[in-house]
Each structure stands twice: as structure tokens, then as C-alpha cells.
Amino acid sequence: MNNPLLRAKGIHKSYGTGAAEVKVLRGVALEAAAGEFLAVTGPSGCGKSTLLHILGALDLPDQGELEFRGEPVSSANRTWQASYRNLQVGFVFQFYHLLPELSVLENVLIPRMVLHSYWGWRRNARQCRDEAVKLLERMGLQHRLRHRPRELSGGEQQRTAIARALINKPDLLLADEPTGNLDEVTGGTVLGLLGELNRAGQTIIMVTHDAKVAALAHRRVHLSEGVVREKGNPVAERDAARPLMTEVRS
Ligand SMILES: Nc1ncnc2c1ncn2[C@@H]1O[C@H](COP(=O)(O)OP(=O)(O)OP(=O)(O)O)[C@@H](O)[C@H]1O
Ligand SMILES: [Mg+2]
């Protein structure tokens, strides 16, 4: 792949030491092009979340390097990694991870707030708020701005989490089992939204153990025994996936 957005090379990650050591990733190589919707599949415990956390610099590999637009991430300094995490990457998790004491709107604004100094935030708050409201409207949540997460359905919470992931206009959206906690119909709506975002240009890497969910991506790779293997024909499979997306959303 020429000039991929993201390139992971020789990623190793283990947990524990000595006899208790678990070697989870054993030389993962992975590339994602700008505009791509990539699914990483694999059974429970194979290391999908571990890999996604490394791709988003939430965690560091023991060995190997992650490059974003050709720039090293894993070996960069902490300031650069923090900026990568907050500006270039948006995260969506299986269990949403919304802050319960904040409203929907406030949850979405958090990643934007941390970009600013106190006075910078005071100057920009109104514009940021307008952007967050627009994003929540796009997620169909305009009537829930002041609600707390516990007052929302699972699908609404996940759509809030997607809005939060997008508020800083990241180049890359990382989703960890985004429908894993939702029923099939609600999960279909969330997947439909991810598909729409991708068609509007958003690069997405999603991990899932569910082949039906993975079928909606352009390209699928499989993680097992600590390495990633490619499978499938990207273009033909994407076209084949469209009717399913329409079906689950209708
Ligand atoms: N912090 C940790 N300390 C020790 N072991 C860990 C830690 N995090 C993950 N592991 C182990 O690493 C392996 C991979 O975990 P990971 O959560 O990445 O798997 P997964 O593919 O995302 O699984 P699932 O589909 O169930 O979410 C598992 O065996 C897990 O027990
Ligand atoms: Mg996981």
C-alpha cells in the first residue's frame, strides 16, 4: 500500500512476566488507507482490543512501531502521543464509557474542552457547542442534549459516544465491538451510521468477533495466534455488503 494513513509494523505485546506471561501480539503488521473501512476479526481473547489500543496510542507495544502519515507514534514523545490520541483518533467502545454525571452534550464536548486553555475555551465555547449540537443532530439525538447517559437507550448512548469520537474531526475512527452490547436492530442502526460516515470520507478501523458485522467493512483481516492475516476481495465484498446495511436500517 502506498502512503497508508496508518501502518503498524512488527507489533508485539505481552502481559505478565515469567511463567504467567501471555504473548498476545506476536508481530502484527497492518496498514489502513485513508477512506478505508477495515474490520479486524478474531475470537474472544485473541488480542483485538489490545491491538486497537495500540493503534490509538492508548497503550504502547513492547516491540514494533506504529506510523501515522509516515510519522512514528509508538516511539514519539508523550506530548505527541497525547495530541495524536486527542486530535487524530476518535474511539468508540463496546460499553460506551460516557461520563454518567454529565449530559449528552457535555460528554460530546469533553475532548474539545481539553484542547483549550480556560480562556481559549471561554472564547470558543459557543462555536464548539454549536458544532456538538450539529453532530448530535446528525446522530438523531437533538432531543436528548440535556439528558444523562442513564436516561438513554444503549443505541442512543453509543450514538452519543460516536459524536464524542468525532468532535475533534479525527482522521481515524477506532471502534471496539461498537454493536457488541446492542440488540440486532439497534446495532444495525449504529453500523448504518458508521457506513454513512465512511461514505462521507471517514477512515474506520473496527474490531469485532461477529462476521456479520465485519461484512459491512471494505476489507477484513483476521487476528489469530498473535498475527494478522488478510482475507477477501475488498471491492466485491463492499458492494455485496450494501443490501445488508439497508436491510438492518429499514
Ligand atoms: N491488562 C491485562 N493484563 C493481563 N492480561 C491481559 C490484559 N489485557 C488483556 N489481557 C489478556 O490478553 C488477551 C487478549 O485480550 P483482548 O482484550 O485484547 O482480547 P479481545 O480479542 O479483545 O477479546 P474480546 O473479543 O473478548 O473482547 C486475553 O487473554 C486477556 O486475558
Ligand atoms: Mg475486546
pLDDT of 117:
86
DSSP assignment string, 44-81: TTSSHHHHHHHHTTSS--SEEEEEETTEESTTS-HHHH
List helix spans (H) across 90-169.
104-113, 118-138, 154-166
C-alpha cell at 127: 462555536
Render each residue's pLDDT in the chain as its tens digit; 250 residues: 788 999 999 999 999 988 899 999 999 999 999 999 999 999 999 999 999 999 999 999 999 999 999 999 999 999 999 999 999 999 999 999 999 999 999 999 999 998 888 898 889 999 999 999 999 999 999 999 999 999 999 999 999 999 999 999 999 999 999 999 999 999 999 999 999 999 999 999 999 999 999 999 989 999 999 999 986 444 333 433 333 333 333 3
Residue 41 lies in a domain: yes
pLDDT of residue 39: 97
With vertex at residue 83, the alpha carbon angle to CA 80 and CA 86, rounded to the nearest 5 degrees, is: 150
Domain presence at residue 167 = yes
Number of folded domains that form the chain? 1
pLDDT of 250 reads 30
Residue 116 confidence (pLDDT): 86
Instruction: Decide whether any atom of ligand 1 lies within 6 Å of the 95 Cβ.
Output: no
pLDDT at 219: 94
Tell me if 24 CB under 6 Å of ligand 1.
Answer: yes
Q: Is residue 159 part of a domain?
A: yes
Asked if residue 245 is part of any domain, the answer here is yes
The separation between CA 218 and the C-alpha centre of its own chain, rounded to angstroms, equals: 15
What is the domain range of residue 45? 6-249
Task: Assess whether the C-beta atom of 147 lies below 6 angstroms from ligand 1.
Answer: no
Q: What is the pLDDT of residue 234?
A: 40
Query: Does residue 50 have its Cβ closer than 6 Å to ligand 1?
Result: yes
* Neighbouring-strand partners of residue 90: 173
**What angle, 0 to 180 degrees and rounded to 10, lies between the N-to-C axes of helices 118-138 and 104-113?**
130
* CB of residue 72 inside a 6 A radius of ligand 1: no
Q: Tell me which ligand sits closest to the C-alpha of residue 44.
A: 1
Is residue 1, in this structure, part of any structural domain at all? no
Centre of ligand 2 to C-alpha 39, Å, is: 13
What pLDDT does residue 243 have? 34
% of the chain exceeding 70 in pLDDT: 92
In a domain, 130, yes or no: yes
Q: Grid coordinates representing 14?
A: 505481552
pLDDT of residue 242: 38
What is the per-residue pLDDT for 247?
32
Q: Whose CA is nearest to atom 18 of ligand 1?
A: 47
User: Which ligand is closest in space to the CA of residue 24?
Assistant: 1
Does residue 244 lie within any of the structural domains? yes
Confirm whether 62 is domain-assigned: yes
CATH number, domain containing residue 104: 3.40.50.300
Q: Pairing relation of β-strands 219-224 and 203-208? A: unpaired
Burial of 192 per CB tally in 10 Å (0-12, 13-18, 19+): middle
